[in-house]
Amino acid sequence: MPRFDGRSRLPRGRFLCTSDGRNYFVPFALITSLFFLWGFAHSMLDVLNKHFQDTLRLSMTQAAMVQNAVYGGYFLMAIPAGRVIARFGYRSGVLLGLMLFALGALLVVPGSLLDDPQWSFFAFVGSLFVLGCGLTCLETSANPYTTILGDPTQAERRINLAQSLNGLGWILGPLVGLYLFRAGAQSDDVALPYALIGGVVLVVALLFSRASLPEVEEASVGSGVAQAGVMPLRRQRGFVLGIIALFLYVAAQTGINSFFINYTTAPAVGLSHQMATLFLSFGGMGLFLLGRLLGSWLMGYVSAVRLLAACALVATLSMLVLLSTDGCAGLLALLLCYACESIMFPTIFALALRGLGEQTKRAGSYLIMSIVGGAISPTLMALAAERFSLSTAFVIPLVCYAFIAYYALTYRVIGNQRVG
């Protein structure tokens, strides 16, 4: 079987066009707007985690239920979402995701009216689970959809560009959280932003119900490699290892996001809660956004696989620095990881799907299912932090980045060749 070498150098005019001249700029622009919504929703969780620790006197392990609920929704909803998309198309998957997203956000309001703060917290966690199911449908639809809207060898560039808007949502989320989830905030303060989000998402759902999203036949889109539709997905080595790499990437990203404020407000770094949140928003998430924009541009000249390998290796070294030091050096190492993380999710996602042809929709749902890594790592890191030290907990992201580096360094050899 021919091997994909990861190169993405093509005439710029083919970025959103197929070989037969079809241009997908409009549907690409529409679907990209969704990336902002779930980036914003996810980034607010990182502020909520520390907020509930302070206001409800929760341990780090208990507060990790915030992430557990959302990312647990990814695990349970990904396969049903994939089946909906396979039967009714990407547009139906988007609409289902938006409706569940809005429902989960609006359910926060009645939960906030409960008198007992503990029960109010559990109701909030349940609402986040519904919201997470909606985000699952959106990601299961939007991520693979961007990879097929144009020349297939430009898939990594397209999804990285789309994910750049996701990075903007990650910047704004902590800023909103800094204002609304301040020390002493009441349950009504937590419910207000989610009520507004629910209303906005309903409006977006109405717009998408009237929009036209063409259904591109994946099997008809050549990829420069032999189509793998006749080979079961479990036999595709690049896809199988891609699921593991994506699971570990989300585990690393969510773990770092969840404990960024804990780490930077600890005595070793000594930032105030407000300053730590600003560092998370403009420092970490700002580098995350710039990394995605720069990465999308670089992929016009540099192999996506090589760029992924370089970022994963630098992220691994950054975690080693964080584990061996603290203070400003540890903070800088942590911030550097955000720049390195920027291209990882979309690039791994696109590489794992490459060459799968008519199995793209089903494969996409399995990849989204792997986002459950975000439900597991905060709990593991919290347990490690409470038993040993907060710095020790960052061994988990270290292991994750090391595997991603292995995946990238070996992808040019394994591609989507047969397992066994």
End-to-end CA distance of the chain: 15
Length of the chain: 420
Global pTM reads 0.79
pLDDT at 407: 96
Share of the chain above pLDDT 90, in %: 39
Beta carbons of 97 and 213 less than 8 angstroms apart: no
Those residues of the chain that have pLDDT short of 70 are 1-15, 19, 46, 180-189, 217-230, 413-420
| Residue type at position 144 | P
With beta carbons less than 8 A apart as the criterion, state whether 78 and 368 touch. Answer: yes
> Which residues does 332 contact at the CB level (< 8 Å), separation at least 6?
none
Contacts of 153 (CB under 8 A, 6+ apart): 7, 8, 10, 223, 224
Q: What is the pLDDT of residue 48?
A: 73
Structure tokens at 272: 């105030």
Residue type, 303: S
Q: How far apart are alpha carbons 276 and 262 in whole angstroms?
A: 9
Other beta carbons within 10 angstroms of residue 214's beta carbon come to 14
DSSP, res 418: B
CA torsion through residues 325, 328, 331, 336, sign: negative
